[in-house]
Structure 1
Amino acid sequence: MFQPYAIATALLAICSSLPATHLLAKTIRVPDDRSSIQAAIDGAEPGDLVLVKRGTYSERLKLKADVTVRSEGADTAGKLGRLRAEETILDGADVPGHGSAVIMAEGAVLDGFTVRNFGHYDEAEWAKHHKTQGNLQSHEHIGESPGPGIQIPDVTCVVQNNIVHHIGDTGIGLFGSPGSAASPHVYQNVCYRNMGGGIGAMRHSRGIIEANVCFENFYAGIGHNHASPIVIHNTCYENIRAGIGSSEGSCPTVRENKCYKNRRAGIGVRTGSNTRPIIEANHCYENDMAGIGTEEDAASILRQNECYRNKLAGIGIRHAEATIVGNECYENGAAGIGLDGAKAVVLDNHSHHNQTAGIGLAESEHGLATLARNKILENRQVAIGIHGGWQVELIENEIERTGGMPPLVMIFAGSKVDLSGNTFQGGGVAAIRVAGEARIENNRLVATELRKAGPPSFGIWALPDATVQAYGNTFENWRHAIFASQAHVSAVDNQVKSFHQAAFVIEDAKSTATVMGNQLTTGDANAKVVLARGKETQRVVERDNEILAEAK
């Protein structure tokens, strides 16, 4: 039976449970209902929509809580963003005074505007610093900004589908405060040719910076200063500094962004041990410096990134701390992963076809690194180069190069390296060339072919004053398993297969050399375990070694 009274009562109950803002929300049209956007905002109540027709508006806006300001039209694509955003313009060229074009409010939405010409844009200054890659810029805090084009002042709000360019400061600026719960969403905006960053998060701000495009900005495409937002799915290219930069105590999560052709690093991290970003699953390529660069004592977690064809290193860590896990670095102009005065854990990475080293450790006063389970393949010069000043562990890495003459691993004077469980495969003059100190244990070292003449072909090449302790390794196809000249050497419990004349050649031993418990497999009836040469042959102690006949 039809019961109008019951239905009416139910509707009344539903309506009474809804916020008053939803019941009374209205649309205010500009310029039909109000002549200016700000007048429409001033006349709006929470929940209202201010709908703005296409055109150019010379005014600054201060939004109100829970009011949406949107350009009129469908979401048709334009040249850079939404067509309605390209044709609905806030232009500050003739607006007096200083400050932001738009100041957001709690719960407010700004959707689909071009914001341009607020503040002083200096084309000559921009061109000068673009040419010099920002090297002449003052050491500004990334993202520090007194008057961004769109200002988000410690509120939860939405800024989306806007185009912000030729601002005398940062394009979109997020400001927070210690302990604030504000979480703005900056989504699908385009920010370019601004005199600050494209988007700057600062002063303890959080929130989500998502799917924006930032290019040709004076500093970083997206910059952080004491801020910890989630930065996801953005594209940053051709900015004067980094595509995405973190500094001054920022701890953002930077995930699944694309950063390319920036004048410095694709992603850059600096300034202090309390700067601790998580940088994961980003694509950084064709940047003028590193794909990802960390310096100035910052501490980063870098995982699952792809860094390729950058002019310097794929990942570069300089005087900083980093955990580098599961990245792929290839075809970079310098090392795949480069460390300089760093403290680093480098785990499960794939570094291949780089122009210098797969992993390169530069001369340092003090460096500490663990390199484990990495694939370091087909790099042009060395797989791993360790200069002086380092203490390094190499554990269970796969190291290979099929051609070329340099050693697979070079250990320079002044460094101490432990190598265990690694596999070395390839050509060159040596698998491991040592001028510093090396403990080499339970590794497998295989040459591509046995070269009986020509350039050196040594499993381990110990240079004058080097210290080498080789225990439990397997050598195959090297002319000599160990060749040492004026070095400190012990070789114990190794297996040597397919060598030429002598497994171990020791010239002028610097201290008593111990060659003990090794097993040799050879088809040469005249093969020697040790060939001692020079003035100090009495310093070579050889015992308990075994020579086995090679199976036919």
Structure 2
Amino acid sequence: MPKLRSAVPLLLLILFVEQSPLAEAATLRVPEDHKTIQAAINAAASGDTVLVGPGTYRERIQLKDKITLRSAGDDTQGKLGLMRAEQTIIDGTDGNEDSPGIAMAEDATLDGFSVTGIGSYDEDAWNQHHASQGEEQSEEHIGKPGIAGISVIGIADCRVINNIVHHVGYTGIVIIGAEGKRVSPKILRNVTYRNMGGGIGVMTYSSPTVEANTCFENFYAGIGHANHASPMVINNSCYGNIRAGIGISEGSSPVVRGNKCYENRRAGIGIRTGKDTGPLVEHNECYDNHMAGIGVREDATPTLRLNRCYRNREAGIGCRTGASPVIERNDCFQNEMSGIGAQQDARPIIVGNHCFENQESGIGIRDKAKAIVIRNRCTDNKTVAIGVQNESQVQIIDNQLSRTGGMPPMIAIQGSSRASISNNIITGGGVAGVLVQGTATISGNHFHGNGPRKGPGPPNFAVWVHEGSSVDFIDNQIEGWRHALFASKAEQIRAIHNTTRRFMETAIVIHDSTQPANAFDNIALSDGKKDESVRVTGQQAVVTNNILRPEKDTKDALPE
């Protein structure tokens, strides 16, 4: 009986809950229930939806927490975005000039509107700076004050989806956080264009997800980052912007993945301003941009990997002014300058990339840059595979360098530059496998020439050392060049333990070096009776044990 008595109140409670009407989220319609969008929002309670019919609404909007503001209709695609977004327009021309077109609120959703008429769009200024590729734009920070089309400020979570923001006097969609506070809204499938700032601006310690947006023809970047922002930027299309497709600066470190950046007036992806600017940039396609596919400068420290950068008017990937990127496993091809370029004190690590069919070098290092170049493939670039100029320093290790035809050297070390060149496979022809006008240590490489070239004509030397240069040439395997090494009036030459076959008359030739030359323990494989392993004229230090061995009697074939 005690159990029955305790069960009765519980049963009554269950029946009461089942039979009582629960509060349900309401749908407030504009213009049927309320004439303006803001009036409907003001009347809405937490969890309600404001559903807006097609038309132009001349107002600016302040959302409330946990409210969904949605345009009426399905997800049929229009010319730019969803048809319902194209047909449902918030025009802020007559609104409060100090208010954004739409100000987001906590846990609110904005879905499917066109937003325009916020601030002044300047067609003349847009045309002027488009023509000059942004060179005359002021260097204002992307986070400068302004009135955005859609504003997300200090909000932990909200959703901005399927909107079209255009012809705004500032940035189209702005996300601003604060140090120590999580600000991670979702910015999904929006279209931003012809705004006088960026298309989407991610600023001040915010960390939104910016995904599947289309940003084009904006005055600055399509998607811009400033002041330690760290968003996820995924699968966006950014094209035709006056500056970069995606711009990253001021200590920002986003993950930038799977985006397409093309036909921008500057770089496809531009990264700059300080060693704390260290994004991860991977699996993007950057093509047909008017500068580099990916450009890094001003001490920035990104990781760039698995990107495809092609048909850009400058380098596929370029770095300068102290930048220190890690450039790993990218494909850089058919660019009008180098596949990968470093200059002006840049410090890149360049690992495992494929650079091919570029109009200049596969990899170019100049203007006092310092680079580590490891395990790359440089194939059929128009000039050199790797070029090092203007007092630069480089380690070139374990690369595969090849070209069919062409006259330039495969590797050029020029302008008092310094290089360590080791364990590379160098295949092709031209005036030289390696040309040195500076200082180089060349060791453990395989030189596969397509000669030796006979008769008069340009040089055809595996290593060509110019006047005043210094080279250590050690433990290399050489075949198919006129000479394995040719040096005339060099500063200092050491040629030790190299093996040469398929050459013309003399494998190693050293004429009149300033310091006494060293050449010992070299082997030349030939059946020519007049051939010789080494010839040294002028000062000599150690020149001994250089052997001419009949090729038909040896098993010392060079590796394929």
Task: Tell me, yes or no, if structure 1 residue 322 matches structure 2 residue 325.
Answer: yes
Q: Give the distance between the partners of 2:297 and 2:68, measured in 1 at CA.
A: 42
Which residue type is aligned with residue 74 of structure 1?
D
> 1:349 — aligned with what?
353
1:451 Cα deviation from its structure 2 partner: 0.8
Which residue type is aligned with residue 39 of structure 2?
A
> 1:133 — aligned with what?
133
1:435 Cα deviation from its structure 2 partner: 0.8
**Relative to 1, partners in 2 of residues 1:259 and 1:14: Cα closer, same or farther, differing over 3 Å?**
farther
**Relative to 1, partners in 2 of residues 1:504 and 1:540: Cα closer, same or farther, differing over 3 Å?**
farther
Q: Give the distance between the partners of 1:199 and 1:45, measured in 2 at CA.
A: 30
Q: 1:481 aligns with which of 481, 484, 487?
A: 484
> 2:274 — aligned with what?
272
**Relative to 1, partners in 2 of residues 1:9 and 1:131: Cα closer, same or farther, differing over 3 Å?**
same
Q: Give the distance between the partners of 2:478 and 2:212, measured in 1 at CA.
A: 52
**Relative to 1, partners in 2 of residues 1:483 and 1:262: Cα closer, same or farther, differing over 3 Å?**
same
Q: Give the distance between the partners of 1:69 and 1:5, measured in 2 at CA.
A: 43
1:181 Cα deviation from its structure 2 partner: 1.4
CA contact (8 A) 1:413 1:466 kept: no
Q: Give the distance between the partners of 1:275 and 1:151, measured in 2 at CA.
A: 24
Q: Give the distance between the partners of 1:393 and 1:361, measured in 2 at CA.
A: 11
Which residue type is aligned with residue 324 of structure 1?
I
CA contact (8 A) 1:276 1:298 kept: yes
> 2:253 — aligned with what?
251
SS of equivalent residue, structure 2 residue 534: strand
Q: CA RMSD in A?
A: 2.0
Normalising by structure 2, what TM-score? 0.94
CA contact (8 A) 1:475 1:481 kept: yes
> 1:527 — aligned with what?
531
**Relative to 1, partners in 2 of residues 1:502 and 1:99: Cα closer, same or farther, differing over 3 Å?**
same
Q: 1:465 aligns with which of 468, 474, 480?
A: 468
Task: Tell me, yes or no, if structure 1 residue 507 matches structure 2 residue 516.
Answer: no
Q: Give the distance between the partners of 2:353 and 2:313, measured in 1 at CA.
A: 20
- Which runs of no fewer than 5 residues in structure 1 stay unpaired? none
Q: Provide, for residues 415-451 of structure 1, a one-character-per-residue CA deviation record: whole Å limited to 9, x for no partner.
A: 2111111000001000000011111110001101221
Task: Tell me, yes or no, if structure 1 residue 305 matches structure 2 residue 318.
Answer: no
Which residue type is aligned with residue 154 of structure 2?
D
SS of equivalent residue, structure 2 residue 124: helix
Which residue type is aligned with residue 185 of structure 1?
K
CA contact (8 A) 1:378 1:402 kept: yes
Q: Give the distance between the partners of 1:527 and 1:14, measured in 2 at CA.
A: 105
Q: Provide, for residues 80-99 of structure 1, a one-character-per-residue CA deviation record: whole Å limited to 9, x for no partner.
A: 00000000000123335333
CA contact (8 A) 1:462 1:484 kept: yes
> 1:166 — aligned with what?
167
SS of equivalent residue, structure 2 residue 302: strand
Instruction: Report matched runs for 1:91-240 at 5 Å.
Output: 91-155=91-155, 156-226=157-227, 227-240=229-242
SS of equivalent residue, structure 1 residue 128: helix
Normalising by structure 1, what TM-score? 0.95
SS of equivalent residue, structure 1 residue 125: helix
> 2:454 — aligned with what?
452
Which residue type is aligned with residue 358 of structure 1?
G
SS of equivalent residue, structure 1 residue 433: strand
**Relative to 1, partners in 2 of residues 1:11 and 1:354: Cα closer, same or farther, differing over 3 Å?**
farther
Which residue type is aligned with residue 90 of structure 2?
L
Name which of structure 1's ranges 42-51 and 91-100 shifts more when overlaid on structure 2: 91-100
CA contact (8 A) 1:144 1:200 kept: no
Q: Provide, for residues 282-335 of structure 1, a one-character-per-residue CA deviation record: whole Å limited to 9, x for no partner.
A: 000000000000111111110000000000000000121100001000000000
> 1:293 — aligned with what?
295
The count of aligned residue pairs is 541
Q: Give the distance between the partners of 1:425 and 1:368, measured in 2 at CA.
A: 25
CA contact (8 A) 2:524 2:532 kept: no
Q: Give the distance between the partners of 2:315 and 2:502, measured in 1 at CA.
A: 38
Q: Provide, for residues 110-152 of structure 1, a one-character-per-residue CA deviation record: whole Å limited to 9, x for no partner.
A: 0000001110100000100000000000001135342110000
**Relative to 1, partners in 2 of residues 1:7 and 1:83: Cα closer, same or farther, differing over 3 Å?**
farther
CA contact (8 A) 2:361 2:382 kept: yes
Which residue type is aligned with residue 448 of structure 1?
N
Q: 1:518 aligns with which of 512, 515, 522?
A: 522
Q: Give the distance between the partners of 2:516 and 2:267, measured in 1 at CA.
A: 50
**Relative to 1, partners in 2 of residues 1:15 and 1:342: Cα closer, same or farther, differing over 3 Å?**
farther
Overall identity of the aligned pairs, in %: 48
CA contact (8 A) 2:388 2:414 kept: yes
Q: Give the distance between the partners of 1:5 and 1:232, measured in 2 at CA.
A: 55
Q: Give the distance between the partners of 1:507 and 1:234, measured in 2 at CA.
A: 60
> 2:408 — aligned with what?
406
Task: Tell me, yes or no, if structure 1 residue 339 matches structure 2 residue 342.
Answer: yes
1:509 Cα deviation from its structure 2 partner: 1.3
CA contact (8 A) 2:407 2:429 kept: yes
- Which runs of no fewer than 5 residues in structure 2 stay unpaired? 1-7, 554-560
1:506 Cα deviation from its structure 2 partner: 1.1
Q: Give the distance between the partners of 2:214 and 2:474, measured in 1 at CA.
A: 55
> 1:497 — aligned with what?
501
SS of equivalent residue, structure 2 residue 77: coil
> 2:366 — aligned with what?
362
> 2:3 — aligned with what?
none
Q: Give the distance between the partners of 1:183 and 1:162, measured in 2 at CA.
A: 18
Q: 2:380 aligns with which of 378, 381, 384?
A: 378
**Relative to 1, partners in 2 of residues 1:12 and 1:355: Cα closer, same or farther, differing over 3 Å?**
farther
Q: Provide, for residues 384-424 of structure 1, a one-character-per-residue CA deviation record: whole Å limited to 9, x for no partner.
A: 10012222111100000111000000001322111111000
CA contact (8 A) 1:65 1:105 kept: yes
Q: Give the distance between the partners of 2:146 and 2:417, measured in 1 at CA.
A: 48
SS of equivalent residue, structure 1 residue 274: coil
Which residue type is aligned with residue 225 of structure 1?
A
1:9 Cα deviation from its structure 2 partner: 6.3
> 2:74 — aligned with what?
74
**Relative to 1, partners in 2 of residues 1:13 and 1:424: Cα closer, same or farther, differing over 3 Å?**
farther
CA contact (8 A) 1:380 1:404 kept: yes
> 2:396 — aligned with what?
394
Which residue type is aligned with residue 192 of structure 2?
C
1:274 Cα deviation from its structure 2 partner: 1.4
